[in-house]
Chains A and B, each alone.
Chain A
Amino acid sequence: MYKKSRARYFFLLPGVFWILTFTLFPLIFSLYLSFTNANMRNFTRATWNFVGFENYASIGSDLRVGETVVTSVYLTVGSLLVTLILGTFMAWLFNHDIPGLRIFRSILTMPLFAAPIALGFMGLILFNETSGSINSIIRGLGGTGVRWMTDSWSARTAVLILDAWQWTPFVFVIILAAMQSIPEELYEAARLDTGSGWAVFRSITFPLIAPALGTVALLRLVETFKILDIPFSMLGGGPGSATQTYSYYVYLTGLRSFNMGYASSLAYILVIIAIIISTIYFWRVRARFE
């Protein structure tokens, strides 16, 4: 009776209506724009004509797309690997009997809430080739300074490190939560069988945190592919266009060159990828929401 009360629509609809209006409508509008030559060359009002699949056809011959995809894939895969490995290792460390775990956990999650656009400046300071402290440390250890700002792959790596630094705590807290939900009896039984911590990790811990790892990996995959703020503020997409990610390129095309129709078609490729990944994601976790 209560569960089916008519009042249930009063509670649900405002939020649903908001999302329909401000997410679904823009998405449909942007799908429409992707089939037009929308532009704002006079800088005041956009005009458009229907052009069919022309935008999508020209993506294939756009040389800039290839380079930005390479950058995005490098950042995404690299950051994903680093955050998953470091985050799991940190979770394993803090899953030992450590006094003050709560305080440590709070400290370790601080980077998650720092604005990425500001972290780009943190990168600018830390990775500066002559006075940055990272090159100072490398030189102090006897190495030669890395050309973080002027070499393409080093610059991409600097962005990768910064992104991984921000998101390792995310993997850490989630995997730690997963590890802490493993029943203690399992460990006790395993420890009687084998003395090696690595064997316990491989045969007990890892299989049980694997679902959480998969979930985190999917989430990070989508999030990292959207990355734009850090390369924007740290290097302005440079050197040259080395740290321009795919999202960055969509942004430049649509809102700096005002080639909005073409930018919408580029963005829609991203939407389709996001829909595929989110379908997999919610197919995995939807039982939780019953």
Chain B
Amino acid sequence: MATLNKEAAAQPVRAVQIGRSRLGRILLWVAVVVAIVWVLYPFVWAVITSFKTQREALEPTIIPFLQFQPSMENWSAELGLGARETTLALGNSITISIGATTLATVLGTLTGYALARFRYGIGNRNIVSWVLSQRFLPPVATLIPFFLVLQRLQLIDTVPGLILVNTTFTLPFAILIMRDFFADFPDEIEEAALVDGANPLQIFLRVALPLATPAITAAAIICFAFAWNEYLFASVIAPKDAKPYTFLVASTSTVRGVHFGYLATRMLIAITLPVVLSLFVQRYIVRGLSLGAVKG
């Protein structure tokens, strides 16, 4: 739209509207600022609250040093020495998320490549729709069977149990992102390699895979964020030794009562990693999250 507005401004016909348009620009910018504030306000408020002691957290003060004395109390209680529970849970979260991300990305890249490059009797779009429809299933419906099966397999409260669960839920995203990438990517180089006598596996490993690095990274980041944020299954399957950080966070209020500063600290630790990583996958957000329905 950028070019449209520039062209419009250049046309003499538009000249009469400049006065109105200037007011329009001001209103536009006001609205943009309001939108940004609306999104950032809760984050900023949480950051401020995390540096307050319990007594100060009950006051609606905003400016540090002037209105309240910032304190590291909450942060050191959560991340300092002796915060063994936190370290354990964060470690679990990282292991689970990386494990699930690796599995989902490997399987997703293979399947995504398959759906973009080959033809199947069932119909490729039927397979894609089926894969993506998994995202529509309510998690509570598979929660009980998962619990019972993992119990039989003695995988309750283990990291592998949660890796398995999270791989299952993130796999559709990985398949979709990789399928879309390969479908949009011309296969001429691969055709040329085929003519040169390479077999499909060699073509995949030596030609397609290196080109797909950006898409693989994006798929991995999105899978990582979803695995990191998962709470429901963790609360049922891994309530003790293998508990991830989301579960630890959820049990905060019962342990310490409502301690706002501390809550804000834990909340920020829980959300920071996926939120920051998301800044690197902007190009893939629209497609990934709309399950391929909208090209971003």
Contacts and interface: CB of A to CB of B under 8 A. Distances in A.
Secondary structure call for the A interface: helix
Interface stretch (A50-58, A73-81, A98-106, A150-158): A98-106
Contact of A109 (B1, B143, B282): B282
Nearest to B295: A177
A143 interface: no
Among B31, B60, B144, B199, the one with the most A-chain Cβ atoms within 10 Å of its Cβ is: B144
B146 to A, nearest CB: 6
Contacts of B167: 18, 22
Interface in B250-296: 250, 252-253, 258, 260, 263-264, 266-267, 270-271, 274-275, 277-279, 282, 285-286, 289-296
Contacts, number: 333
Secondary structure call for the B interface: helix
A271 B200 CA distance: 39
A63 interface: no
Given A212-B294, A216-B290, A270 B43 contact: no
Contacts of B134: 19, 23
Contacts of A104: 32, 36
Number of contact residues on A: which range applies? 35 or more
Contact of A254 (B113, B143, B200): B143
B59 A26 contact: no
A119 B204 CA distance: 41
Interface string B93-123: 0000000000000011011011101111000
B69 interface: no
Given A108-B36, A179-B1, A219-B293, 7 more contacts: A12-B115, A14-B110, A15-B110, A27-B137, A119-B271, A174-B296, A281-B136
A177 B296 contact: yes
A289 to B, nearest CB: 4
A10 B1 CA distance: 44
Given A109-B282, A122-B267, A181-B295, A14 B111 contact: yes
Nearest to A273: B138
Interface stretch (B70-78, B84-92, B211-219, B223-231): B223-231
Contacts of A41: none
Interface in A172-223: 173-174, 177-181, 184, 187-188, 191-192, 195, 212, 215-216, 219, 222
Contacts of A133: 45, 60
B66 interface: no
Contacts of B136: 222, 274-275, 277-278, 281
A122 B42 contact: yes
Given A117-B231, A285-B292, A165 B266 contact: no
